[in-house]
């Protein structure tokens, strides 16, 4: 006997509408909607609406969201955003971080997200206070949201007094991935070597901020491809931003994309930040400042997207609804067809699940019962209308 049966749902990668059955925290039954239905304690008639596996917010900064009321000016470059935020971080308290981070998690829940990968800052300013705060939040929300934590050295590792020690400590505390930001340290190679060694030591995946500029010479991705192969870390490395590749001539960018695909490195576009920060000095032929999403897609790279920042010096925008970011990406990458809309939804679900290493993800027998029903009947309308979430389930338990 099933605990719950969703009847007549439209879902990604299924040709016909389906019935989805749940027992405990798992999906145990999937069949095309027909005349017969299995016995279930509860049946929800989707009436042809879209049901998707919960969205993945695969790159977000929780503890530095919602800082606009603390800012006395806007940042006009990445460097300025980093400096301004470092200054603001001095006034962060545990309570204040918790309140702002929880606001983001609540927004994510409302928009159909069931998995978050959070970049949590570890440096001389915050020490491990952000780690402590987000670890507590992870536990508090465990029945509504799975939160993965990346130990993220925003202020660098080797230019911090306690950088090395704090990164080690964060991993010992239970960080799920090793973060890195080679462009914000004294030596990129030294920084990257440390990250790969730490990840290998703790057997954790790697999640990096890289090449966040519009300078075609900024290509730390080439070193990352080499290291990924050396360490046999294929499929376990994710890079975010990589906007500089968008300024590289197409032929060379294509060759690099092929190598990224070959090393199975996942790429995350962060359009809300990337469009805001990059291309600012261009007076004509103004660049969009985004990683070349279509070139990456054409060359079989697992390219996805995420929110990154909400209302802070890096991105003074953001509603917390991941579908707004989806819409922004679709618009700026000119992905306007019904098929493109499905690709965008695939990035928010199955493709990002690969980057986050989520086992048992998705609508399949044996899949975790993280399901969201939207008030839309066509997949395309989930992107176009950003409809209300009618109900959502985390591991078989009702959240909305
Ligand atoms: Zn980030």
Question: How far is the centre of ligand 1, averaged over its atoms, from the C-alpha of 18 (Å)?
Answer: 37
φ and ψ at 380, to 5 degrees? -55, -35
Neighbours of ion ligand 1 (CB under 5 A): 308
Confidence of residue 324 (pLDDT cuts 50, 70, 90): very high
Q: Which pLDDT belongs to residue 270?
A: 98
**CATH of range 2-53+361-398; options 3.40.720.10, 3.40.640.10, 2.30.40.10, 2.40.70.10:** 2.30.40.10
pLDDT of residue 183: 97
Q: Helix 129-140 crosses helix 94-110 at what angle (to 10 degrees)? A: 40
Residue 29 CA, ligand 1 centroid: distance in Å: 38
Alpha carbon of 349 to ligand 1 centroid (Å): 19
Q: What is the dihedral of CA 107, 111, 114, 118, to 10 degrees?
A: -40
Average pLDDT taken over every residue of the chain: 98
Spacing, Cα 107 to ligand 1 middle (Å): 18
Note the pLDDT of residue 12: 98
Query: Pick from 80, 71, 2, 73: which is nearest to 37 by CA?
Result: 2
Residue 240 in tokens? 């975010």
Give residue for tokens 């039954």: 29
Element of type H or E holding 294: helix 293-298
**Fold assignment, 55-355:** TIM Barrel (3.20.20)
Sign of torsion over alpha carbons 235, 240, 241, 242? negative
C-alpha dihedral (130, 131, 133, 134), degrees to nearest 10? 110
- Ligand 1 centroid to Cα of residue 189, in Å, is 20
Cβ distance 185 to 191 under 8 Å?
Answer: yes
Determine how β-strand 206-210 pairs with β-strand 237-241.
parallel
Tell me the CA–centroid distance for residue 60 and ligand 1, in Å: 6
CA of 144 to the centre of ligand 1 (A): 23
Q: How confident is the model at residue 165 (pLDDT cuts 50, 70, 90)?
A: very high
pLDDT digits (tens, 9 = 90+) for 49-101: 999 999 999 999 999 999 999 999 999 999 999 999 999 999 999 999 999 99
* pLDDT reported for residue 50: 98
- For 326-351, write each residue's pLDDT tens digit: 999 999 999 999 999 999 999 999 99
354 CA from centroid of ligand 1 (Å): 19
Angle of helix 220-230 versus helix 188-202 axis, rounded to 10:
30
pTM of the model: 0.98
DSSP structural state of residue 183: G
The confidence score (pLDDT) of residue 368 equals 98
Distance 325 CA to ligand 1 centre (A): 14
> What is d(CA 363, CA 27) in angstroms, rounded to the nearest whole number?
7
Q: Calculate mean pLDDT across residues 211-233.
A: 97
* Residue 267 binned pLDDT confidence (cut-offs 50, 70, 90): very high
Residue range 192-204, pLDDT digits in tens: 999 999 999 999 9
Q: Ramachandran region of residue 88, left (φ > 0), alpha (ψ -120 to 50) or beta?
A: alpha
CA of 203 to the centre of ligand 1 (A): 22
Transcribe 330-391 into DSSP letters: HHHTT--SHHHHHHHHHIIIIIHHHHTT-TT-SSSTT-B--EEEES-SSHHHHHHH-PPEEE
Strand partners, 267: 239, 303
Domain parsing of the chain, residue ranges = 2-53+361-398, 55-355
CB atoms within 10 A of CB 34: 11
pLDDT level of residue 147 (50, 70, 90 thresholds) = very high
The CA 399 to ligand 1 mean position distance, Å, reads 27
Q: At how many degrees (to 10) do helices 129-140 and 163-173 cross?
A: 20
- Could you tell me the distance, in angstroms and rounded to a whole number, from the CA of residue 271 to the centre of ligand 1? 11
- State residue 380's pLDDT score: 98
C-alpha 243 – ligand 1 centre gap (Å): 13
- pLDDT tier, 14 (very low <50, low <70, confident <90, very high otherwise): very high
**Rounded to the nearest whole angstrom, what is the distance from the C-alpha of residue 149 to the centroid of ligand 1?**
13
How many angstroms separate the CA atoms of 362 and 376, rounded?
19
């Amino acid at each position: 006997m099933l605990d719950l049966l969703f009847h007549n749902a439209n879902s990604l990668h299924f040709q016909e509408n389906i019935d989805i059955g749940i027992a405990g925290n798992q999906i145990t039954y999937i069949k095309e909607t027909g005349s017969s239905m299995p016995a279930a304690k509860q049946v929800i008639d989707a009436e042809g609406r879209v049901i998707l596996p919960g969205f993945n917010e695969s790159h977000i900064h929780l503890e530095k969201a919602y800082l606009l009321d603390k800012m006395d000016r806007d940042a006009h470059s990445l460097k300025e955003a980093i400096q301004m935020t470092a200054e603001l971080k001095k006034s962060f308290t545990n309570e204040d971080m918790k309140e702002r981070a929880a606001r983001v998690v609540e927004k994510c829940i409302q928009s159909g997200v069931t998995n978050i990968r959070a970049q949590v800052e570890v440096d001389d300013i915050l020490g491990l206070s952000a780690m402590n705060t987000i670890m507590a939040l992870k536990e508090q929300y465990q029945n509504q949201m799975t939160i993965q934590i990346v130990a993220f050295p925003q202020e660098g590792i080797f230019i911090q007094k306690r950088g090395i020690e704090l990164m080690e400590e964060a991993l010992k505390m239970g960080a799920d991935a090793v973060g890195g930001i080679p462009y914000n340290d004294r030596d990129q190679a030294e920084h990257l070597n440390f990250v790969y060694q730490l990840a290998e030591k703790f057997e954790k995946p790697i999640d990096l901020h890289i090449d966040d500029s519009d300078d075609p010479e900024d290509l730390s991705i080439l070193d990352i491809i080499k290291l990924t192969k050396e360490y046999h870390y294929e499929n376990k490395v994710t890079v975010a931003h990589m906007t500089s590749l968008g300024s590289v001539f197409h032929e060379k960018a294509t060759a690099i994309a092929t190598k990224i695909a070959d090393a199975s490195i996942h790429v995350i576009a962060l359009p809300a930040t990337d469009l805001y920060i990059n291309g600012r000095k261009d007076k004509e032929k103004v660049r969009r400042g985004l990683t070349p999403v279509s070139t990456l897609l054409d060359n079989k790279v697992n390219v996805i997207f995420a929110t990154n920042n909400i209302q802070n010096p890096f991105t003074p925008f953001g509603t917390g609804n991941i579908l707004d970011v989806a819409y922004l990406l679709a618009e700026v990458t000119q992905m306007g067809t019904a098929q493109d809309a499905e690709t965008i939804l695939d990035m928010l679900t199955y493709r990002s699940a690969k980057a986050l290493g989520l086992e048992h993800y998705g609508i399949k027998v044996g899949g975790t019962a993280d399901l969201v029903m939207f008030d839309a009947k066509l997949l395309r309308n989930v992107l176009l209308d950003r409809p209300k979430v009618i109900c959502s389930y985390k591991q078989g338990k009702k959240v909305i």
